[in-house]
Structure 1
Amino acid sequence: MTRLLIIEDNPELVANLYDFFEPLGYVLEDARDGATGLRMATQNDYDVILLDLMLPRLDGMALCHKLRQEFQNPVPVLMLTARDPVDDRVQGFALGADDYLVKPFSLKELDARIKALVRRAQGRQVQGALVWEDLRVEALAPQASRQGQAIRLTPTTHKLLLCLMRAAPAVVKKQAMEYLLWGDDPPESGALRTHIHDLRQQIDKNFTCALIETVHGIGWRLREPGVVVPE
């Protein structure tokens, strides 16, 4: 079962995509503006994102940049656009897009490209999991293990840990984590720190080497293998 997120403001095109892909067994969700699309992309798991360039509130280029740089989200992105200048394609690929299709396009060709992106993405994961040093985290279930010891995560700590794993060893900013969990309406300031504390309790408490490092005033990251940094 392949999950697609369609970020497209043309209702007729969105309807055509539903009509074509749902009978093939795809699960589709859609957003009609870039800000909503970014929130859905960071808060849910998808196999491929179909991303229009000309979007209200946040255009496709900016969305792709935020998805890759701020959230370190590796979900395959296929850009859909009515424009075909070479510079647009080069910029899209530079910002992290995986493929590019010019409107109007064949739905059969789009299906083939989606399948190719899914195969490629599966090859980048280790049996459906992400691995950092002695920590292994399942991508699709709130489960992890460290040094062979099973760790059951909450849905929230699972989201945070996946975000850290995908970004490692780069720092994930506090604002990006808040957006990941709550979108544009984060709760009072201590809520995120409480979830980070819970995550530390789950993956660091019973081990001699803590993996989660606080970068004061910025956010958090996973320590690089073999590097010891004092808290």
Structure 2
Amino acid sequence: MKPEVLIVEDDRKISNLISIYLTNEGYSVKQAYDGEEGKELYLLHRPCLLILDLMLPKWSGEELCRFVKEESKDSPGVIMLSAKGTTEDRISGLRLGADDYMTKPFSPEELMAHVEAVLRRTGHVCQKLSHEGLEVKPRKGEVWLDGERLELTHYEFNLLYFMMEHKDQVFSREQLLEQIHPHGEVDIMARTIDAHIKKLRRKIETDVSEPKRIVTVRGMGYKYASH
């Protein structure tokens, strides 16, 4: 099952159309038709992504976006929808904390691509992962090893989750870098991944000289080994 998505849109036709497309793609969907209901459903279900109309009754999209981004460090991804399409409007929406901004009208197919991209970039994933005593709880932002909670940085957390989600797949430094530094937000060299891997191994490996979980594949990159 793909992650849960909350649609907060007062136009029921638009909301239902988005819901149909998301459901057909395997997402679990909840719908709210004003800002207050959106807040209640967000707190109840803790979705991984909000598709949020800017102009809403009772509580505006701006207020709801600000609330969910400040309410928890593990806040969901947010795609803002608006009929306002100027550069200033887009900048305002992104500054509120939205991860993406789409102008109405839009095609449902384009929105689905944006949904996938935001979930991929933000690392907002819901499925708990575990392997041989190592457990990652993304909704709580926690990592546990043999019953003991580990202290990971934001980048280490996203890196570990991504690699565990794709066990035994080899990723280059550039591919891993793209996962933990979305939007090209930091101008850094791909070798930075080596430092993240080194620190992560110290926390999850029994013997860092012979790592069993995050394995180096010479000339190619790294993988999380399932056995």
TM-score bracket, shorter-length normalisation? 0.5 to 0.7
Q: Contact (CA 8 Å) 1:128, 1:140: kept in 2 or not?
A: no
- Counterpart of 1:150 in structure 2 is 147
8 Å contact kept, 2:119–2:125: no
**Retained in 1: the 8 A contact 2:125–2:138?**
no
Deviations for 1:92-124, whole angstroms, at most 9, x for unmatched residues? 111110000111101111011111111113389
Check 1:95–1:128 CA distance in 2 against 1; reply closer, same or farther (3 A cut).
Answer: farther
Contact 2:94 2:100 in 1 (8 A): yes
**1:62 and 2:30 correspond:** no
Give the aligned residue type for 2:15. V
CA 1:84–1:119 in 2, change beyond 3 Å: closer, same or farther?
Answer: same
Other structure's SS at 1:22 match: helix
* Superposition TM-score, scaled by structure 1 size: 0.54
Q: Which of structure 1's runs of 4+ aligned residues deviate more than 3 A?
A: 70-73, 140-146
- Per the alignment, residue 26 of structure 1 pairs with 27
Give runs of aligned pairs for residues 5-20 of structure 1, distance below 5 A.
5-20=6-21
| 1:91-110 correspondence runs (5 A) | 91-110=92-111
Aligned to 2:138: 139
Encode CA deviations 1:181-213: one digit per residue, 9 max, x unaligned: xxxxxxxxxxxxxxxxxxxxxxxxxxxxxxxxx
Shift in Å, 1:45: 2.8
Amino acid at match of 1:83: K
> 2: distance between equivalents of 1:121 and 1:94?
16
Report the count of equivalent residues.
147
2: distance between equivalents of 1:33 and 1:25? 25
Whole-angstrom distance in 2 between the partners of 1:87 and 1:142: 33
* 1: CA distance, partners of 2:89 / 2:72: 23
| Aligned partner letter, 2:25 | L
The runs of 5 or more residues in structure 2 that have no matched partner are 154-227
Between stretches 38-47 and 54-63, larger displacement belongs to 38-47
Q: Which residue is equivalent to 1:48?
A: 49
**CA 1:128/1:94 → structure 2, altered by over 3 Å: closer, same or farther?**
farther
Q: Distance in 2 between matches of 1:123 and 1:139?
A: 8
Contact 2:55–2:61, Cα closer than 8 Å, also in 1: yes
How far apart are residue 8 of structure 1 and its match? 0.5
Which blocks of at least 5 consecutive residues in structure 1 are unaligned?
Answer: 130-135, 152-164, 167-231
Do 2:76 and 2:124's aligned partners in 1 also have CA atoms closer than 8 Å? no
Cα deviation 1:46-78 (Å, max 9, x = unaligned): 222100001011100111111112444421100
The one-letter code of the counterpart of 1:150 is: G
Q: Within 2, Cα distance between the matches of 1:12 and 1:97?
A: 23
Q: Percent identity?
A: 31
TM-score (normalised: structure 2): 0.55
What do the CA deviations read for 1:3-44 (whole angstroms, capped 9, x no partner)? 211000101111211222222212111111111112222332
